[in-house]
Every structure is written in C-alpha cells, then in structure tokens.
Amino acid sequence: MLLFICSFGHEPKVNSNFETYIRNISCKNQLVQKLSRDLKKRFWMPIAVSVANKPLTKGIQFYDSTEEKLHQLYISENQTFYVEKNFQKKIITKKIFNEKLYCKMDSKKSDLSIVEPEGNSFSDIDLHKTIRQHEWGVFYFWTPAMPLSIEGISEIKKAMNKIKGHLVILADPKAEALEIQNLISTKKISSADARRFTSNQLLLLDIKMHYPGILVFKNGKISNRSYLGFKKMEMYEKFLKLELAQIERGVF
C-alpha cells in the first residue's frame, strides 16, 4: 500500500534485446534522444567515433553488467552502426542498418550540438576554425589541480617550436577562476594559456580524464589517440613524429 501511495519508479525500458529496441525507432535523432532518456542512469557513456576521412560521429556506449558486454551505437550519415563488444573490446556482433532514418529536422538539436563561444573560452566553433585553418597542430590541456600539467606547458611549447605545428593551450573548464588568476599574476602561466575549453567535441573525446593531455589534429581531422601525462620536450617530439606518421597513413 505504501508503495502505491508514495508512488514508485519503474525499471528502465531498454531490454536486453538491444537490436529490437533500436529497430523500433524510425528517426535517428529520436533514437539518440530516446536512448539518452532511457539509459540516463545506467552505465552508458556518450562516445565519439573517429573514422578516417569522415567527420567525428557521436554515439552511445552502454555497459550491460549482466551480460558483461559493451553495446555501441553510432550513426554516420545514412547508416546506423550497432556493435557489441566484450571487455577486451573484441567485436562480438557488428551490424549496419542501411535504412535511411527520416525525421523532422529540428535545427536546434543536431547530432553534434554546437557550443557558442562565451568570453575567453574555446568552443566547437573555435575548434572547427582551428583545425581548418592549420595543416596540423596540437591541443594541450591543463588544470590548476595538477601542477605537472602547468609545468608541461613549457615542454610542449619547446617541442612545437622545433616541429613547427600550431599549438593551442587550453585550461580545464571547471578550473577555479581565482586559481587561474593567481597563476597568471605569479607568472606561472600567461593569460594566453588560460583559455578554457567548452567544446563538446573535445569533451566527447574524454580529454577530461587526465591532465595534462594532448590531442593531435591534421588535415581537418582530430586523432582518436590522446597522449596523457607529463612529458619532457624530447618525449613530445618523439611521440608527435610517430603520431603524424600514423595519421599520414590514414590511421586516426
């Protein structure tokens, strides 16, 4: 009786037959929104899938603790990709739905929502502009909470001076303004290095999981492989040469 009166929640609607679930949705935008709603409290993560020669694609990864599987769903152009993987990321099932998924296009909601710039921030618009305007470069991410990430700024600058790429230094969007200000006033960083990133695309690439970290871009694409942890100039130089070679081969 108490259950009834106090009203009760309900089990999430996604059942274990994931394929059946997604097939019942006719529109790709609705699919992403419905999954976001139904899976919001389970082990699901937004993911970004970077495929060579294609734009970054937003998807969803859902962890099923009962079956110990990862379910990934991403939509690229007119195809929907559904992938099941085990914990070693080995693909168990991969299906491609070739159906064109139609829906009323809502201009305010696109697959990759664009974040407008606000103040001294680095948004998706800034990101797209940067990777279009420069042949190749590096985004370096730091936070006041990790002193080695502050120290690493000079190391990546030295490395990039040698290899001649475009460097963008970006601060943790959650960093306390006062801490950043203190670092500027004590000359530990310059104000140009204090730009916070708000780009959704960068967040989708999980760059917030460790500071410092770097991401490489070339020919308008961002590499999937971040390089994490404090490094000296020589290590950055070595890594960047290898990474650029991989990207040249089309491996993102």
Partner 1 sequence: MNLKKLKIYFAFFIAAFVCRTWAEKCKDISLSFGQQRFKIPKPMYWMQASGDCRVSYTDSAGISSMYNYCLKKVEDITSNIDAFPVPGSKGKIYVHPDHTVFCSTEEVIKSPRHTRCHFGDKELKGYYQSLGLIKSSQDGKSQIRILMGSIGRYRDYEIVQNNNTFEVKPLGPVHKACENISELKLERELPILSRDGTKFAFRDRNTRNTVIYSINPQGLCQKLPVEIPFETSKVAFTFGSESVDFLVYNSDTKTRRLLRMDLEGGKITAISAPDEDVTYMTTREDGKILYARRVKNLKGTFDNELVLLDQNVIQKNKNADHFKLIGYFWANTCNKDIDEEMALLVGQRVDVTSCHKLITQNRSSMPKESGEGKGFEALAVVCNAKTESQIKASELEGNIGR
Q: CA angle at residue 228 from 193 to 114, to 5 degrees?
A: 60
Nearest residue (CB) to partner 1, 13 versus 129: 13
Cα 224 to its chain centre, rounded Å, is 9
Nearest CB to partner 1, comparing residues 8 and 104: 8
DSSP 79-100: EEEEEEE-TT--EEEEEEE-PP
Question: In terms of CB distance, is 33 or 130 closer to partner 1?
Answer: 33
Least distance to partner 1, CB of residue 133, Å: 25
Question: Smallest distance, Å, CB 181 to partner 1?
Answer: 11
Q: Are 231 and 150 in contact (CB under 8 A)?
A: no
The residues that bridge with 213 in the sheet, in sequence order, are 141, 228
78: which residues sit within 8 A by CB, 6+ positions away?
A: 98, 100, 101
* CB nearer partner 1, residue 5 or residue 105: 5
Smallest gap from residue 141 Cβ to partner 1 (A) = 12
Nearer to partner 1, 125 or 242 (CB): 242
In the complex with partner 1, which residue's Cβ is closer, 17 or 98?
Answer: 17
The answer to whether 252 touches 221, Cβ cutoff 8 Å, is yes
The CA-to-CA distance between both ends of the chain, in Å, stands at 57
Beta strands in the chain (DSSP E): 44-49, 57-64, 69-76, 79-85, 91-97, 121-122, 136-142, 166-171, 196-197, 213-218, 221-222, 227-228
Chain residues that interact with partner 1, rule: CB under 8 A: 1-3, 5-12, 36, 40-43, 45-46, 63, 65, 68, 70, 85, 87-89, 143-148, 150-151, 174, 179, 182-183, 188, 200, 203-204, 206, 208-211, 224-230, 238-239, 242
Round to whole Å and give the CA distance between 48 and 203: 9
CA distance 74 to 83: 9
* Minimum distance, C-beta of residue 97 to partner 1, in the bound complex (Å): 24
Nearer to partner 1 (CB atom), residue 126 or residue 243 = 243
CB 134 to partner 1: min, Å: 23
Report in angstroms how near the CB of residue 161 gets to partner 1 at its nearest.
22
Tell me how far apart the alpha carbons of residues 18 and 82 are, in angstroms, rounded to a whole number: 9
